[in-house]
Structure 1
Amino acid sequence: MRRATIYDVARQAGVSHQTVTRFLNGFEGIRPETREKVQAALAELNYRPNGAARWLRSRQSNRIGVLAHRMELSGPGRIIVGANAAARSRGFVLDIASMDGEDAASVDAALDLVMEHQIAGVFATAQTDVVRAAVANRAIDIPIAIDSGEGLASAGDNPRAHPGLLAAAHLAELGHRRVAFVNGPSMWIASGERRTGFLDEVAARGLELVWETEGDWSAESGYRASRELPEDVTAVALANDSMAIGFIFGLAERGIRVPEGVSVIGMDDSPESRFHLPSLSTIRLDFEGEGAYLMNVLIANIEGESVADVPGYELPELVARGSTAPIAAK
């Protein structure tokens, strides 16, 4: 089947091909009724931007290099999903280079790989300061987007600390006073921010942090942590859902029921969290929105557009499920 062109779209919508081009380039001065006609025609014809034609016209590549760390984890993987959707909607293609974000040599090798090709920009998922430093130390003369926590729909002194803050607030509101925290790897920026948010809210609410430890984001590390939980703790927050699921399994082996014996809350709202038994209370993060935001900022810089016009993404929010309960119910 022949691929639709902008001329096909123009005929379908009853407009000029120049109007379709302006729409695809993000021009704001198009009347709402005309915009609706073009959007409908694009959908009906399944129009896809022609990257090769773009290159021939402007000599600008439509490829973006991505430095990806721990894609198997829910958060980083979903950020890339959102970034890819945003890139495709603007006619860009991603060249993904995996790396170990805790190893400077690995980050440098990934940068070398993407920079060998004709790319319009670099998108880095910077879960560690190692990634940020490696990118900052390179003389890169094309636009770069680094996962920074900016662009949230609502402002705050440290928006990325909200997951920890919300988890502590939820446990306090359920009446828990003696709590514990299982963090992710200390090298990860998100770990420090989630821990800071949790501890700040624990102090503000007058709770007692009885015990804390560190995992590696895996269910196995959550399981190991469960073996060490003191008996007088009534609620535990974990810095991601995978560790929380492993933690609950370990508590079951100890004969401790959740939430009757201990309330457990995770963070991220991973797809499997609501299907666990009990269903996992968690903090929902808009990872796909974050990826789309960062990619749209990058493309705006590539195209010379205003970054201020890029819509933000949603703040974290509590999702209360079956793994947390009021202390009075124990």
Structure 2
Amino acid sequence: MPQSGETAHRRATLYDVARLAGVSHQTVSQVVKSGPHVRPETRHRVEAAIAQLGYTPNLAARTLATARSHRIGALFFDRYDEVGPTRTMQAAVDYARDHGYVVDVVGVDPHDPSSLGAALELVAQAGVAGVIVFAPTAEVIDAVRALSLAVSVPVIVESEVVSGPEPGTGPTRALGLRLATEYLAELGHERFFHVAGPHTWLPARERTAQYRAVIEERSLRSVGEYEGDWSARSGYLAGLDLPLDSGLTAVVVSNDQMALGVLKALHIRGVRVPEQLSVIGYDDVAESAYFEPALTTISNDFEGQGRLAMDALLQTIDPARPHSELFQRDPVLVVRDSTAPPPV
């Protein structure tokens, strides 16, 4: 990145940015803090100078000046290889960084309440401004609410404030698996099978509820459900267990990794997809377009969910910060080769 000769061999300062942009250092500070009282043309000039000089705010200096920490603790449940939560967390971390915060991510076993409490206490005592918890299960949410922290900081579970100045709720969860099931129904399928995620996970419960609602509303028939654990292996086992003699023509799977396992099992069983059986997944992972056949799936805005969650925490930390225009887009159906009308 190009820099002026004066700052090429040292870290650029706020005053360097002000000099290059032809504004006061107070104006640069307002732009860095996303202050609302800066004219657009001035803001653009300052942002261009920041980019040219490679300027980054000194978080330690900001903390001393404002008596406010710019570190955030994030608890992430990394025992499962699930793509969606990872994308959500990464988007939240990136959003925090873009707004001048550093995020310390701590991995926690969701089945060990003692590790949850210890991790939450640890990050709270480390001088963080707040804590965000990416919680897959109702048990985790209940455990966070039951904890009594020695240090008072706002704690947000995804987008819901569970401790802090005042409670609040996050965005309504999008009905992605409803979209998947309705699409198959529109193709003419009437007999379905559902490969669900682990029932202890809230997203898995929600997706199963959406599937069942469409089956009931449209007077369709579900010939069975299988509880997987998000892994391709569990999808493979579900595929081996599918009751092919039941007239089944469509399989609705709660994530793409399990759908991959289903496709493998059907191949071994000599079932042609989609000529004999349609399969649809959820998540739209990068590899799903390269499955054999390419997987029809639901693209969900995990990144938007992560940004909303972090924005909710930052707003709780600093209620005076400008209101954001963030939103989480609706799920999108991605039609590929694994679905077709049922065989005649």
What is the TM-score normalised by the length of structure 1? 0.92
The aligned counterpart of 1:21 is 29
Q: CA deviation at 1:72?
A: 3.6
Check 1:313–1:46 CA distance in 2 against 1; reply closer, same or farther (3 A cut).
farther
Q: CA deviation at 1:148?
A: 4.3
Q: CA deviation at 1:307?
A: 8.2
Cα distance in 1 for residues equivalent to 2:156 and 2:282? 25
Structure 1 position 164 matched with structure 2 position 173: no
Match of 2:270 among 239, 255, 271: 255
The aligned counterpart of 1:155 is none
Q: Give a deviation string over 1:268-303, Cα, whole Å, max 9, x none.
A: 111211121211111111111211111122112112
Equivalent position SS for 2:38: coil
Match of 2:225 among 164, 187, 212: 212
Cα distance in 1 for residues equivalent to 2:138 and 2:242? 30
Q: CA deviation at 1:112?
A: 2.6
Q: Give a deviation string over 1:36-83, Cα, whole Å, max 9, x none.
A: 222222222222221111122122221111110127421111111101
Figure out how many residues of one structure are paired with residues of the other and give that number: 323
Q: Aligned AA for 1:47? A: Y
Cα distance in 1 for residues equivalent to 2:283 and 2:232? 14
Max Rg structure: 2
Match of 2:324 among 303, 309, 312: 309
Structure 1 position 80 matched with structure 2 position 89: yes
Structure 1 position 221 matched with structure 2 position 230: no
Check the 8 A contact 1:297/1:310 in 2, yes or no: no
* Unaligned ranges ≥5, structure 2: 1-8, 161-168
RMSD: 1.8
Q: CA deviation at 1:98?
A: 0.8
Cα distance in 1 for residues equivalent to 2:262 and 2:82? 17
Cα distance in 2 for residues equivalent to 1:307 and 1:276? 44
Q: CA deviation at 1:130?
A: 1.8
Equivalent position SS for 1:272: helix
1:168-187 equivalence runs, <5 A: 168-187=181-200
The aligned counterpart of 1:92 is 101
Check 1:206–1:13 CA distance in 2 against 1; reply closer, same or farther (3 A cut).
farther
Structure 1 position 300 matched with structure 2 position 315: yes
Deviates more, 1:119-128 or 1:294-303: 294-303
Q: Give a deviation string over 1:61-118, Cα, whole Å, max 9, x none.
A: 2111111012742111111110111111112111111112233223222213322311
Equivalent position SS for 2:223: strand
Check the 8 A contact 2:81/2:231 in 1, yes or no: no
Q: Give a deviation string over 1:227-277, Cα, whole Å, max 9, x none.
A: 111112111011111000111011101011211121111111112111212
Q: Give a deviation string over 1:196-237, Cα, whole Å, max 9, x none.
A: 111111222222111111000000000000011111211101
The aligned counterpart of 2:214 is 201
Identity %: 44
